[in-house]
Amino acid sequence: MLTPALPLIAPLLSAILFGGYGLNCLLSERMVAEFERYGLARLRRLTGMLQVAASVGLLAGLFHRPLLLLSSGGLALMMFLAVVTRFRIKDPLLAAIPALALCLLNAFIFVRAL
C-alpha cells in the first residue's frame, strides 16, 4: 500500500532533482561536454530551461492538476528519450539508470494525477 504522503513527496523530489539538474545544464561546463558527447549540444540550453520550468510546474501542479500532468508527462518523456540516447551512444546500462528512475518517477506522478 502506498503511503498517503507519496503523492506529495514524489513531485517535490522530482522538482528538486530537475531544478538542480536543469540549472546544471545551463551553468556547468561539464554539461556542455556531456551534451556534445550525446550529439545534442544545440539542445543543452533548451533542455535545461525545460527542466527548470517543469520543476516549477511540478510545484504549481500540486495546486493545479493540469500543470502537474503537463510537467510530469513532459519530464517522463524527456527521461525516456535520455535513456534512448544513452543506449544510442552505447553507454553502459548503469549510466542509464538515473534517467530510467526519473522517467519512472515522473510516469508515476503523471498516472497518479490522472
User: pLDDT (tens digit, 9 = 90+) per residue, 47-62?
Assistant: 999 999 999 999 999 9
The pTM is what?
Answer: 0.94
Residue 25 lies in a domain: yes
Q: What integer pLDDT is reported at residue 6 of this predicted model? A: 76
Helix (H) or strand (E) holding 35: helix 29-38
pLDDT reading at 44 higher than 90 = yes
pLDDT reading at 4 higher than 80 = no
Do residues 58 and 72 make contact, with C-beta atoms less than 8 angstroms apart? yes
Residue 103 lies in a domain: yes
Q: What integer pLDDT is reported at residue 1 of this predicted model? A: 54
pLDDT reading at 76 higher than 70 = yes
- DSSP letters spanning 49-109: HHHHHHHHHHHHHTT-HHHHHHHHHHHHHHHHHHHHHHHHTT--HHHHHHHHHHHHHHHHH
d(CA 45, CA 49): 6
d(CA 100, CA 33): 21
Residue 100 lies in a domain: yes
If you average pLDDT over residues 22-38, what whole number do you get? Answer: 97
Q: What integer pLDDT is reported at residue 30 of this predicted model? A: 97
Residue 1 lies in a domain: no
Structural domain count, the chain: 1
Domain that holds residue 93: 6-113
Residue 87 lies in a domain: yes
